[in-house]
Amino acid sequence: MRLVAGQGCSATRPRWARTALALAALAALGAAPAAPLNTTYGVRLRWQPVTDPSVIGYHVWVRPLASTTATAQDAGKPTPAADGTMSFALTGLDVRTDYAFSVSDYRSNGTESPRSNEVTSGYAQVAGLVDEDGDGLTDAQEDKNLNRIVDPGETDPLNPDTDGDGVPDGKDACQGTARGAAVNAVGCSCAQISCNDGNACTADTCSAGVCAHTPVRDGTACSDGNLCNGMETCQAGVCRAGTPLSCNDGNPCTTDACNPTRGCVHTAIAGCVPPPGSGGPSVSCSAATGAAFTVTRLRLSRRTAGWRLVARGTLAAALDPTANGLALAVWGSGATPLYAVVVPPAGFTNAGMRWFYRGSARPADGLLRLGLAADGGSTSLSVTALVPAAGFPAPAAAGPVPGVAIAVGAGALCARSTGLACTAPSTRVIHCE
C-alpha cells in the first residue's frame, strides 16, 4: 500500500490501494473550556478508503510527538462522505500537547495494514482557538511567540489575572501592576497612567487609577510664555487671555517692538532728532533753553571708524530719565547735530538716584554707556560713545576747534552747553574745557 498525505508519505506492499490522511479542520468539534486550566479540543481526521472488500474497519493511531508510542482508536468503517472520503473525530486532546496521527485498515482475516504517514496537530495550531483560563484572550494572544513560557510583555494563558490586580487579562489595559496597588476598572494603577491634562488651571490628582482635575484658584497665572499677548490668568479652571501690551512709547526716534520674553523693546534710531512737540526727548534746539548745562570734560579721540567721545557735565535741574527718556547730541558750528542718540525710558536701569544705560560692544547708534546721578536740584551726566567719522570731520591741523557743544533733551527740556574752549593737539585728538 502506498499512503499519501499532505505532510509526508510511506510505501509498503503495492497490491493495496492508495490512502490519504489529512486534518480536515482543527477544532472542528469545538474548543470550549471544560474548566479553567483544563481545556481540551477535538480534530476530525479524513482519509480516502481502500477498495479492498476484505477491509472491515480502520484504526486511528494517536501519539504525543514527544513519545514513540501510539495508541489506537477503532474508527470502525465510517460512512463515506459525498466526495468518497471517510472521517473520524478525536476529542479530549490536550491543548499544550503536540500530537501525530496516522491510520491503518484491518481485514476480516485479522490482518492489518501498516500505518499511513503521520500528520500533526498541536499547540501552535490551536492556541489561537482556545482560551484555557477563560480570561477573554486566546492562548495565542497571551503567549505571543507560542513557546509555552510567559515572557516579558506576555500574559499567562493559564492564569486569568496574571498581575493579580483583580481585573481579568482580557480587560486589563495595564499589565504588571504592583502587588496590592489599587486599580481602576481597566486594571490601571496611578503609577501606570498620567493624569496630566495639559491644563495649567487644574490641579491633577489620582486615586485608585482614577484621575481628578480640580480648578485652581481664580487669578492664578497660566502664562503661555508670551508677554506680548498679556498676562493670562485662570478663571473657573480655564486659562483666559490678558490685555496685550501696547509698546508705542510716542517717541518718533525709536522703533517699538514686543519680545515674547522681554516685553516691549524700544530701539533708538541712529541719528534721529525728534521735532519739537513730538512727545519724545528732543535735541532739536539750536540754543540753550531751560536749565543750564555745564560740560566739565569733553574728549574726542580718533579711531579707525570714527571718534571715541568721553564727556562729563552737570545739568542745573533734577532729571529722572525713566520718566521721559533722554536725548543727547554733539553739535558743531552747523545747523544740525554732528551726532545724536535717543535712549527711551525703558533703556535705563536705576539704583537709588542713579540711572545707567549700557549698549552693546558694537552698538548701531554708537552709544556705549550713559550714566546720570541726581543730587538735590542738579544732575551729573557721563557719556561714552562712538561718533561716526562722516558726521565729525577731523581737524585739518592742530589748533582751536570752534563751535563744539553738547545738548541734552528730556521731554520739553533742551539744555545746550556753551562757552567750550576746544583745542586739537593733533588731527587725531580734540580736548574741550
User: Nine-digit cell at 59?
Assistant: 484504526
88-107 pLDDT tens trace: 999 999 999 999 999 999 99
Q: What is the CATH number of the domain that holds 109?
A: 2.60.40.10
Mean model confidence pLDDT for the chain = 82
Residue that has been written with the C-alpha cell 552747553 in this structure: 417
Which among 315, 343, 330, 301 has a CA at the least distance from the CA of 406? 330
Amino acid 411: pLDDT: 67
SS3 237: coil
Asked whether residue 238 is assigned to any structural domain, the reply reads: no
Q: How many CB atoms lie within 10 A of CB 126?
A: 25
Range of the domain at 26: 2-126
271-322 pLDDT tens trace: 565 554 454 455 555 555 567 788 888 888 888 778 888 999 888 888 888 8
Asked whether residue 133 is assigned to any structural domain, the reply reads: no
Question: Who contacts 277 (Cβ-Cβ below 8 Å, separation ≥6)?
Answer: none
In contact, 339 and 327? CB cutoff 8 Å: no
Asked whether residue 427 is assigned to any structural domain, the reply reads: yes
Which among 411, 360, 357, 364 has a CA at the least distance from the CA of 382? 357
Asked whether residue 184 is assigned to any structural domain, the reply reads: no
Amino acid 420: pLDDT: 79
Q: Model confidence at 144, in pLDDT bands (50, 70, 90)?
A: very high
Asked whether residue 185 is assigned to any structural domain, the reply reads: no
Q: Which residue, of 104, 126, 148, is where some domain finishes? A: 126
Amino acid 22: pLDDT: 44
308-359 pLDDT tens trace: 889 998 888 888 888 777 888 887 776 667 778 888 888 889 888 899 898 8
- How many domains does the chain divide into? 2
Question: Who contacts 127 (Cβ-Cβ below 8 Å, separation ≥6)?
Answer: 95, 138, 139, 140, 143, 146, 157
In contact, 328 and 283? CB cutoff 8 Å: yes
Tell me the percentage of the chain whose pLDDT exceeds 90.
44
Residue 300 bridge partners (DSSP): 309, 430
Asked whether residue 249 is assigned to any structural domain, the reply reads: no
Asked whether residue 98 is assigned to any structural domain, the reply reads: yes
Q: How far apart are the C-alpha atoms of 101 and 278, rounded to whole Å?
A: 105
CB neighbour burial string for 132-168, b if at least 16 within 10 angstroms, e if fewer:
bbebebbbbbbbeeeeeeeeeebbbbbbbbbbebebb
Q: Which residue, of 126, 145, 167, is where some domain finishes? A: 126
Give the strand pairing for 2-5 and 40-47.
unpaired
In contact, 93 and 41? CB cutoff 8 Å: yes
Mean pLDDT of the region 71-89:
95
Q: What is the 3-state secondary structure (H, E, C) of 292-337?
A: CEEEEEEEEEECCCEEEEEEEEEECCCCCHHHHCEEEEEECCCCCC
For residues 122 and 270, membership in a common domain is answered with no
In contact, 320 and 410? CB cutoff 8 Å: no
Which among 327, 349, 351 has a CA at the least distance from the CA of 340? 327
Cα atoms found within 13 Å of the Cα of residue 13, Cβ hemisphere only: 5
User: Nine-digit cell at 143?
Assistant: 503567549
Amino acid 32: pLDDT: 44
Residue 299 bridge partners (DSSP): 310, 431
Asked whether residue 116 is assigned to any structural domain, the reply reads: yes
Q: Model confidence at 183, in pLDDT bands (50, 70, 90)?
A: very high
In contact, 272 and 367? CB cutoff 8 Å: no
Q: Which residue, of 95, 126, 157, is where some domain finishes? A: 126
Q: How far apart are the C-alpha atoms of 418 and 408, rounded to whole Å?
A: 12
Indicate the pTM of the whole model.
0.48
